[in-house]
Amino acid sequence: MSTTGKVKGIISNLVIVEVDGAVSQNEICYIETAATKLMAEVIKIIGVNAYVQVFESTRGLTVGSKVEFAGHMLEVTLGPGLLSRNLDGLENDLDKMEGIFLKRGEYTFPLDENKLWDFKPLANVGDSVEAGSWLGEVDENFQAHKIMVPFVMDGSFTVKSVASAGQYKIYDTVAVIVDAQGKEISINMVQKWPVKKAIMCFNEKPRPFRLLETGVRIIDTMNPIVEGGTGFIPGPFGTGKTVLQHAISKQADANIVIMAACGERANEVVEIFVEFPELEDPHTGRKLMERTIIVANTSNMPVAAREASVYTAMTIAEYYRSMGLKVLLMADSTSRWAQALREMSNRLEELPGPDAFPMDLSAIIANFYSRAGFVNLNNGATGSITFIGTVSPAGGNLKEPVTESTKKVARCFYALEQSRADSKRYPAVNPIDSYSKYIEYSEFEEYISKRISPDWTAKVNEIKTLLQRGKEIQEQINILGDDSVPIDYHVTFWKSEVVDFIILQQDAFDKIDAVCSIERQQFMLNLIMGICRANYHFNNYTDVMDYFKRIINIGKQMNYSEFQSENFEKYIQQLNGMLAENQVQ
């Protein structure tokens, strides 16, 4: 007999329920209204009073309404068929909902119960298996979707039977396993998992090392992120957070991309709905939507479900990682999630921390980022979740609690800067303040020297020093004037501008420039290094400016041309000609 209760108080979406039995923290319950049932989660218990946050509007709810407790925490359903779906923060399939407007209390199943899947067995009778072991696989959008021993299973089991290759529905039994006591358990393709708990069915989590190619030069070349790495993009509004995030999600070399649109604009999600089914994955040539799952809780959808949405997305990511896949998870924006926590903490009348955020905000963020990572699975395969979150700092001030808490845990920092955005230098990632900790990892150094070249990180560091120097000189010129600094200074400054315009800046809306392969990045960096290492002779500083502006113009035309095409080679010729003009040995 499950616990029931009655509504005793209502303060916006916080409802106080008097219960008649045991309830647990974070347990799910349903509140009955005249027309429908509203889903809610227990967030505090005092005596017989359970405080629950309702995932919907509480308009019209009355005291005395019946409440039924579900006996479990907020769970998601995991199984083949999640790819290409548009889900809400509670994993309801948005496409299955009827009508133009969202109806309160409408919950839809995220999978297709009748679809037939081509199953191939992987385990053999007699195999010893545990939670997360692969029993078989089905083909989901041309990727091998592993059917696993459910993550909730404890201990080790023996495979008694596995279904033969053929077509099955998700609830058909595809294997039977036996526990130590001889009890038989039937396994189908569907399992459930509470979103707030990490799926830990892997052997170890080593330091990540393999470059995740995103095709964005300022990331791959300057501040690389790795498979299983974490990064965050803080930036005031209008600096291009979402454009950068979309670029990464379109181009990154990942098997699965999960986009958690958390408390952001609905039209941005619509952009994904429209573009992804059309665009091609540059690595496989298949449609982007085939590898993508969208978890959308836009800013006008219920606030409490906003918090759930990031956990739902992370849990789905962990599920696919357990199949040995490379998963990229993007959350836009984690600040909105933190604000949802703040609203609820406020209603619970908790003592506030900085900026009225809950005191444990830092711990919550750290805990969430730690769920990403590169793992060695128990069967020797590897999988990864690369997590990139955006942060929307209030007033563009990076000293606010969400940015500071995130900075402590995320290893890549891509600081978007208002002044760069104002002068249309996109992506507006500040090249000097941003960093990637992975570039210091010896594991990464070893990998990249094989993938690109042994002197790669040395070159990148040289370029970074040049950018730093260029910025210092620019400040001096601003104070002293063009005339009062040596011509050499102008040359160094303009070399840093060449790097800025040709390497750092990238046109996300140009078909060719948007994606830059790692080979092309290597070529361009070497080319620019050549220009920057050379010595030049000039008579006055205006000549310096004119000369390098012409170089920049050619470089830009190169970025707009197909790599190694006839045009591209033509521009290299032009460039070489120009270099010969003013260069001195």
Partner 1 sequence: MATKAFQKIYTQITQITKATCSLKAAGIGNEELATVNGKLAQVVKILGDEITLQVFEGTEGIPTNAEVIFLGKAPTLKVSEQLAGRFFNAFGDPIDGGPEIEGEEREIGGPSVNPVRRLQPSELIATGIAGIDLNNTLVSGQKIPFFADPDQPFNQVMANVALRAKADKIILGGMGLTNDDYLYFKNVFNNAGVLDRIVSFVNTTENPPVERLLIPDMVLTAAEYFAVDHNEKVLVLLTDMTLYADALSIVSNRMDQIPSKDSMPGSLYSDLAKIYEKAVQFPAGGSITIIAVTTLSGGDITNAVPDNTGYITEGQLFLRRDSDIGKVIVDPFRSLSRLKQLVIGKKTREDHPQVMNAAVRLYADAANAKTKLENGFDLTNYDERTLSFAKDYSENILAIDVNIGTEEMLNDTWKLFARYFKVEEVNIKQELVDKYWNQ
| Binding to partner 1 in span 434-493, by CB under 8 A | 478, 481-483
Tell me how many residues contact partner 1 (CB under 8 A): 73
How many residues can be counted in the chain?
585
Q: Sign (positive/negative) of CA torsion 373, 376, 379, 380?
A: positive
Interface characters, 73-112, with partner 1 (x: CB under 8 A): -------------x-------xx-x-xxxxxx--------
Q: Is 509 in the site for partner 1 (CB under 8 A)?
A: yes
* Three state DSSP letters for 465-495: HHHHHHHHHHHHHHHHCHHHCCHHHHHHHHH
Q: Judged by CB under 8 A, does residue 433 bind partner 1?
A: no
Name the residue nearer to partner 1 (CB basis): 371 or 490: 490
Out of 321, 342, 495, 520, name the contact with partner 1 by CB under 8 A. 342
Largest CA distance in the chain: 91
**Residues of span 8-47 touching partner 1 by CB under 8 A:** 8-12, 16
* Site string (157-196) toward partner 1, x via CB under 8 A: ----------------------------------------
Distance CA 178, CA 156 (A): 9
User: At its nearest, how many Å lie between partner 1 and the CB of residue 344?
Assistant: 9
Q: Which residues pair with 387 in a beta bridge?
A: 230, 329
Applying CB under 8 A, does 346 fall inside the site for partner 1? yes
Q: Does 312 help bind partner 1 (rule: CB under 8 A)?
A: no
Regarding 270 and contact with partner 1 (CB under 8 A), the answer is yes
Q: Which residue has the tokens 């889903």?
A: 39
Kindly identify the residues of this chain, within the stretch 387-426, that bind partner 1 according to CB under 8 A: 392, 394-397, 422-424
- How many C-beta neighbours within 10 Å does residue 144 have? 16
Identity of the residue, 221 or 392, whose beta carbon is nearer to partner 1 in the bound complex: 392
Q: Are strands 412-413 and 230-234 parallel, antiparallel or unpaired?
A: parallel
Question: Please, which residues have CB within 8 angstroms of residue 292's CB and are 6 or more apart in sequence?
Answer: 83, 84, 249, 256, 257, 258, 259, 272, 276
Candidate ranges 141-149, 213-221, 334-342, 378-386; the one touching partner 1 (CB under 8 A)? 334-342
Q: Is the CB of residue 215 less than 8 Å from the CB of residue 515?
A: yes
**Choices 22-30, 294-302, 318-326, 372-380; region in contact with partner 1 by CB under 8 A:** 294-302
Shortest Cβ 468–partner 1 spacing (Å): 21
Interface with partner 1, residue 62, by CB under 8 A:
yes
What's the closest the beta carbon of residue 316 comes to partner 1, in angstroms? 18
- Which residue from 352, 454, 486, 577 is in contact with partner 1, where contact means CB under 8 A? 352
What is the spatial distance between Cα 340 and Cα 362, in angstroms, rounded to a whole number? 15
Pairing status of strand 66-73 against strand 4-11: antiparallel
Query: In the stretch 361-380, what mask flags binding to partner 1 with x, by CB under 8 A?
Result: --------------------
Is residue 566 near partner 1 by the rule CB under 8 A? no
Q: How far apart are CA 237 and CA 147, in angstroms?
A: 42
Distance separating alpha carbons of residues 451 and 215, to the nearest angstrom: 15
